[in-house]
Amino acid sequence: DSSVSKLQSLNGVFAVYKKQGPTSADVLNALKEALLKEAGVRNPNPRKRKKQSLKMGHGGTLDSAASGVLVVGVGNGTKMLSRMLTGSKKYVAVGELGKATDTLDATGSVVLESSFEHISSRDMEEKLKTFTGDIMQVPPLYSALKKDGQRLSVLLKKGQQVEAKPARQVSVYRLSLQDFNPPLFTLDIECGGGFYVRSLVDDLGKALSSCAHVKQLIRTKQGPFTLQDHVLHEDQWTLEHVLRVLQPCPEGGLEGGPEPGSEEGPDGRSEDRQPDPSEETGPVVGT
């Protein structure tokens, strides 16, 4: 069928809007299903490899509780995703002071409550300076990082003891306080690959002699794609719209380099880190 072969001949990257709730993998499957259905494939099962297959992957998972820009590669575009992971990303995060959770976001259970009345917006702005630049950060326990080939988040859910991964260097290019209305505060963040917003908010709460967790997280930019100008919303998941926004693969082959890892935890748990080859399962690519 010509519509299906048109889909299968697509090579490049584009961005879709991920809403709060589904995992990044769920979003990818829904996108694939919408495109195959439009092409006239009856009962497309995006997880099955068939002649009607469509090679797609995403670069830089968003937690299920997060929303915003999700970059998608199609065809040979899946090989370009690793470059997307290394580029800068922008987030708007709403944090809540006075409560810490086991997952460091609102999906988890509250494990600590402490007072926050002593914290002023000036205190927070001063403290944010110490989290700007190249900083050391310990990834969250609930993450897609692995121990002995198993995801930490999966091990935790099985009730196993899990040790924190060692701190790693991450880059924070810009960090500013947009709104301070205790217990809530809003941060604007621009960071490099491997950075966890959940860890930042948790560390910030501790640094202010209190505690905090992420209440809401929106990725507003990933690589060249912005939330305002480039994402396809669910009602635009059609071949026509994809063709309009697709950034084609560069001519003359693709640069090598590692492909993005499968960045999913209990519910797609990773804001978006650059995978370590030692702990990843290969690209998030399916057909």
Give me the active site residues, please: 63
Instruction: Show the 3-state SS of the chain.
Output: CHHHHHHHCCCEEEEEEECCCCCHHHHHHHHHHHHHHHCCCCCCCCCCCCCCCCCEEEECCCCCCCEEEEEEEEHHHHHHHHHHHHCCEEEEEEEEECEEECCCECCCCEEEECCCCCCCHHHHHHHHHCCCEEEEECCCCCCCCEECCEEHHHHHHCCCCCCCCCCEEEEEEEEEEEEEECCEEEEEEEECCCCCHHHHHHHHHHHCCCCEEEEEEEEEEECCEECCCCEECHHHCCHHHHHHHCEECCCCCCCCCCCCCCCCCCCCCCCCCCCCHHHCCCCCEEC
Which residues lie across from 147 on neighbouring strands?
A: 150
